Amino acid sequence: MSEKQESKVADTVRLVDSLEVTHPAFDVIAKDVVSEYGAYCTLYRHKKSGAELLSVANDDDNKVFGITFRTPPEDSTGAPHILEHSVLCGSRKYKTKDPFVQLLQGSLQTFLNAFTYPDRTCYVLASQNTKDFYNLVNVYTDAVFHPRALTDPMVHAQEGWHLELENKDDPLTYKGVVYNEMKGVYSSPDSLLNRASQRSMFPENTYGVDSGGDPADIPNLTFEQFGEFHRKFYHPANSRIFFAGDDDVPTRLSLMDEYLQEFDASPESKPASQVKWQKKNFTEPKWSSEPYPVAADQPETHMVSVNWLLNERHFTSTEDLTVTVLDHLLTGTVSSILRKTLMESGLGTAITGGGLSDELLQATYSMGLKGVEPQNVKPVETLVLDTFEKISEEGFSEDDIASSMNTIEFQMREFNTGSFPKGLSFMLGSMSKWIYDENPTKAIKFEEALAQLKAIIAESGSNVFQNYIKDNLINNLHRTTVEMIPSKKLEEEQLEEEKNRLAVIKAKLTDDDLNDIIEKTGKLKELQAAEDSAEARATIPSLEISDLKRESTEYPIAVTENECKSGVTVVRHELVSSSGIAYVKFGVDISGLSLEDVCLLPLYTRLMKETGAGELSDVELSRKIGMHTGGVSPSLLTTTVRSGSDGEGTVTNGNHMITKLLIQGKATPEKIDQLFSIFSLMLSESNLDSPKKVIEKLKETKTRLESSIQGSGHSYAKSRIESRYIPEGYIDEKMSGISYHDSVKTMLKQAEEDWPSFHARLENIRNVMMNNDTCRNGMFIDITGEQAVLNGIQPNVESFLENLPGDADGSKLPDFYNEEHPWVTQAKEEMSKKSLIVDEGFIVSTQVSYVGKGGRLFDVGETVPGSAAVISRFLSTGYLWDNVRVIGGAYGGFCTFNSKSGLLSFLSYRDPNLAETIDIYDKTANALLATAEQLENDPDALKTAIIGAMSDLDGAVSPDQKGWKQFCRWLTRESPERRQKYRDEFISTKPSDFKMFAERLIALKQPSVAVVSSKAAFEKAAEAGKILKLTNVV
């Protein structure tokens, strides 16, 4: 037996033995092996407190812990959400103001967060370092059971809401992190529609209120009610505790017993938190209408969603899988019948509703359109209902069913969660049953349900899905239709309503009351600005520098140029295991395109997959992908690369780029021939001459972009800032930023008014890309898989290479490592003609701001030390967290730094402030200089900063990510030696590095501002002296 085989046997024995672990403080309730994922599960109940604990033993070194409480609210004051934020602000054992931030700053966590669901609150973490893992578990457990927030009203004030006043003559304002977060949520039309839809279906249970909190209701939550919510729901008897990974099971149990043994049984806890079933008791479908905000110059289109409550009892595992497959048949791809019918109807511009939602006690189904003209609102509802009628009569084809079944089965077997911890996916899946007192492994196991569903389909074909539609949709009167009506005055009305509400409150206050608010405002700000004492910081468990992994992680790579004399470079990554799956990326050079047509590329990649290819229609191509692969998707790869004259680790001039169109997919070896045939079809024969579909997709893209700019304005602010300084940023913004939104409107106009010209531009992309003389030289194939997979697919790789278009002995493309990329040449010319370095504001309908400011921190040719990553992370979790989030009330504040470009950006998310936040950014340098001095005498704080930033270097990665990460390193000519040097510099960060960074911030080259916010916020900022060039967007 080989050493590898012996190790595997030993691991299996260890996992099997884990099922026999007992502990005197716990009873064993159930044992189960989820063979699908090699998970050995034991369900325990703590004898004294009644807490349930699911221990999952597997071979995953990314260990996961979670503790979940069932927390159904009775109103929309946001008690569960505010509590979720607040319990992590100090506890009995861990004395700092915000241990959560200390953990972000100084642990090796691969995941650290908390979630508020409509009926439960989850606290979750993950780490690959065992010592670190148990440190995190201790802090989280003490936090949920013994939070400082119960005795300190300042926590509720900071995280929830408070009245703020600094001078008697000033108007009262509301402040609070959750309050402002939810103002951002309630600014999103999609969020408003989703919330209205859920309320409409659940008039009688907890799902009819908003656990996150309605900004209009949040100020009604008193400190006493806040504390009572914790006392009612945060007893161990109402908890579900979860462990997963390769750590020691007895240690898990002993650690939890230390906390749980303090609590006596609470037999009333579980019954008090039970979620009441909403009966399907409507005697007729219902219709409701609500407003949503739009800007003054935006079209007044409506949004419509048709919604059903599906069940009033628990689903069986087979029913769960059936409705999942049905949802995929209906909306899983752009060619799925319900999605396709709605989009091709012309009644709206984008799908809304989301289809199946099944993570709560009761499943729902929602589908509709946005961008709907008023006269088309009712026809949307009719079309949804008529489509279900048609499907119930005609059913689905065998190939459609096979395609959806294979897609779902592939996903379940692969269990590829990317960088998201697998154990966390396991926990969230199990919680969808466990939290409602069902078997926690029921939702994870799929083999039996899959076999049953396959047998049912084999016997009766489509009938199982047709019958489900008849019983649960067509004949289900518990249906609602929600119409969202545009209002150009809603934002103004909400601001006025809040202003008047606060004015009424202030008018009723005495001078003593006002003085009290002023005093509390001052005390809160003083507390927020105060440093934790050394004694308090010492209570937070930490690692040592010696606990860090010193070596940079490298992944396998083998490069073969001109493989089989094809002219194509093939790159392989042989892993120990890829679960029998080949991950393949195929790249084609697109440098021959003009910069003018770069904005077409996102549309072009969609058309490659969504409009059919060769003799296959869009439906047939989608079906082929689903039946034979784990998914295929075209995308773009644009990256700057180091030239031969650039030193490693220096800021490049950005003149050298690699630009490729990618087709990526995954399949098992026996299906790899089908994967490659799909690649070939998409590459050479995609259908570009479909004006109706192109116009439809452009309208959808426009609608999606507008929604994204409203909800993720910080991303667009960052993109805009970067576009002002470097060609790559300028080019990227043309394909994904606010400039792209402008381009989409222009493209839509041309497609509608002059289709032949627009079609010619699309065809030109293919012609340029497929230039017979040069295309082979610009192609690559990147393959990740285990040895058996790589060997098994080699004949298919050779056949694919042989049949590719182009001349294998053709001309070579320019050497873009040493020659300026033509897009860069054109971008620099355009940039030179514009006044790019200007402070800009982009107006959308919102109650919050997304504030960005940035500039060049390192010049071209300067070497960027590894310490820069430590310091930028330190700013995000330190100065910006304290000032933008804690004191300022924004949901997030952070710093991003790109070592290749030398650009730095400050950003805020869902921010109640604008001018004040820019002032905070401007004070960063001085704050950092002061920090540098403090660190000279505080080695522990420096150690914490280094350790916390290390998680950015060493996150968990899936097999396909390992291969792609190593490929990108090779493509950009980043050597292992440079990576190791960077890591050494990173770990050796000194106080003097902080001083250097601060001095560079003081000398930041041509800084500029980009903000996404409301017109009212920009007017207020102008009064404070922040004058921005304004543009209306949404």
Find the catalytic residue in 20, 36, 52, 84. Answer: 84
| Tokens read off for 329 | 């048949």
**Residue 160 and residue 624: Cα distance in Å, rounded?**
51
DSSP structure class, residue 473: I
Q: Is residue 624 a contact partner of residue 678, using CB atoms and an 8 Å limit? A: yes
Nearest Cα to Cα of residue 484 among 201, 847, 190, 705: 190
| Tokens read off for 500 | 């008047």
Spell out the residues 6+ positions from residue 462 whose beta carbon is closer than 8 angstroms to its own. Answer: 395, 396, 397, 401
| Tokens read off for 29 | 């309730």
Nearest Cα to Cα of residue 770 among 658, 659, 684, 657: 684
26-34 and 120-127: which strand pairing?
Answer: unpaired
Specify whether 84 is catalytic: yes
Question: How many other CB atoms are there within 10 angstroms of residue 929's CB atom?
Answer: 16
Find the catalytic residue in 52, 159, 728, 916. Answer: 159
**Residue 123 and residue 143: Cα distance in Å, rounded?**
10
HSE, side-chain direction, 13 A CA sphere, residue 35:
2
Nearest Cα to Cα of residue 762 among 605, 646, 570: 605
First to last CA, the chain: 66
Nearest Cα to Cα of residue 888 among 140, 177, 163: 177
| Range list of H helices, 895-938 | 915-922, 924-936
Q: Left if phi > 0, otherwise alpha if psi is -120 to 50, otherwise beta: which for 136?
A: alpha
H/E stretch holding 624: helix 618-628
SS3 205: coil
DSSP structure class, residue 885: I
**Residue 802 and residue 233: Cα distance in Å, rounded?**
65
Spell out the residues 6+ positions from residue 919 whose beta carbon is closer than 8 angstroms to its own. Answer: none
Amino acid at position 37, single letter? Y
Q: Is residue 304 a contact partner of residue 481, using CB atoms and an 8 Å limit? A: yes
Going across the sheet that includes 109-116, the strands are 26-34, 39-46, 52-57, 239-245, 63-70, 120-127, 109-116
Amino acid at position 284, single letter? E
Nearest Cα to Cα of residue 919 among 945, 896, 887, 878: 887
HSE, side-chain direction, 13 A CA sphere, residue 141:
23
| Range list of H helices, 332-446 | 337-344, 377-394, 398-414, 422-434
| Tokens read off for 859 | 């010049």
SS3 258: helix
Q: Is residue 306 a contact partner of residue 384, using CB atoms and an 8 Å limit? A: yes
Which residues, in sequence order, are bridge partners of residue 480? 286, 307
Nearest Cα to Cα of residue 828 among 968, 748, 731, 683: 731
Q: How many residues does the chain have?
A: 1034
302-309 and 479-487: which strand pairing?
Answer: antiparallel
DSSP string, 655-706: --EEEEEEEEEEE-GGGHHHHHHHHHHHHHHB----HHHHHHHHHHHHHHHH
Specify whether 999 is catalytic: no
DSSP structure class, residue 600: G
Catalytic machinery residues: 84, 159
